[in-house]
Amino acid sequence: MGRGVQLLRLGDVARSDADDIIEGVLLCNEQACQREHPIIDGIPVVVADAASWASHQLDGVMRRDDLTPFIESMLVDAAGPASSFDHERSNLSIYGWAHWGDATPTTGRKHGGSYAALLAQAFSMLSAPPSGLWVDLGCSVGRGTLELARRGCSLAVGVDLNFSMLRVAERVRRRARAVFPLRRVGLVYDRFDADVAQVPPDQMSFWCCDVGVLPFADTAFGGALTLNLVDCVPSPLGQLLELGRVLAPGAPALYASPYDWSLNATRTDQWLGGHSQ
């Protein structure tokens, strides 16, 4: 990926909805590259190693979402709690409830949305509301990106590698609805389905990218939101350096982390603190 010039152009469009490209391809203009990057469900997938990404994310991309919760439950009961689908549902439930649980759901539950409190505290540290072009790294199911747009950003770009979570975020952007599986107990899930108010779709965009190798130009962004991310990547220092690369000089970065290191993501020698070295 280039660092200072625009190297991606729109290729074929397979499906669109008004001004939104639902399926298509972005092409790299660099002669030595010539990579093709798919646009799936309105989400550009721009990664350096598409084969590695697909090996981890293909199930989520291909997952159908038109089954009733009744049939889904029967299938997951048969597959058991160790299935990839149940793991995906569990993650969507955790992040979806934290981001969107304060919306009005059809499940009858009355609490949730703890992520909104974290966002409010982060935004309170700014000397002025966010404006211009901002990036939300590790955007998950999209609440931070929406709040950036609500607060005045001309464009808030949400970035994550998890396609299933980005699909939830993109539905909020295009349909103003938060829809995700919400765990009741064990393998039993309800379907959370709620309206989301004040969604400015033209001020939001979601991209499937590696936060350690961002496909954006140097100094492209006037600010960044990066909450609970740095302890979820293979190279925390590399991710922070990449964040610094895409930020304009003096641009603010709203940062938070519990430093809850997971060996599934980060080797001990890459931790920022928490070990003797």
The confidence score (pLDDT) of residue 106 equals: 55
Read off the pLDDT band of 8 (50, 70, 90). Answer: confident
Q: What are phi and psi of 117, to 5 degrees?
A: -65, -40
pLDDT of 276 reads 74
DSSP-derived 3-state class of residue 18: coil
List, for residues 68-122, the tens digit of each pLDDT value: 878 888 888 898 888 888 899 999 999 999 999 988 665 556 566 789 999 999 9
Per-residue pLDDT at 105: 62
pLDDT at 1 over 90: no
Lowest mean pLDDT among 42-56, 192-206, 213-227: 42-56
Cα(110)–Cα(205) distance, rounded to whole angstroms? 29
Could you tell me if 235 and 20 are in contact, meaning their C-beta atoms sit under 8 angstroms apart?
no
Query: What percentage of the chain has pLDDT greater than the value 90?
Result: 64
Q: How confident is the model at residue 155 (pLDDT cuts 50, 70, 90)?
A: very high
Give yes or no for residue 206 having a pLDDT over 90.
yes
Select from 205, 206, 254, 258 the least CA-distant residue to 232.
Answer: 258
The structure's pTM equals 0.91
CA 213, 214, 218, 219: dihedral to nearest 10 degrees? -130
Cα–Cα distance between 73 and 228 in angstroms, integer? 31
pLDDT beyond 70 at 2: no
Confidence of residue 224 (pLDDT cuts 50, 70, 90): very high
Q: Please name the amino acid found at residue 137.
A: L
- Measured N-to-C along each axis, helices 163-175 and 143-150 cross at an angle, to the nearest 10 degrees, of 30
Q: Please, is 243 exposed, middle or buried when counting C-beta atoms within 10 Å of its C-beta (0-12, 13-18, 19+)?
A: buried
Axis crossing angle, helix 114-123 with helix 84-100, rounded to the nearest 10: 50
Check if the beta carbon of residue 211 is closer than 8 Å to that of residue 239. yes
Nearest CA among 118, 157, 122, 158 for reference residue 138: 158
pLDDT at 246: 97
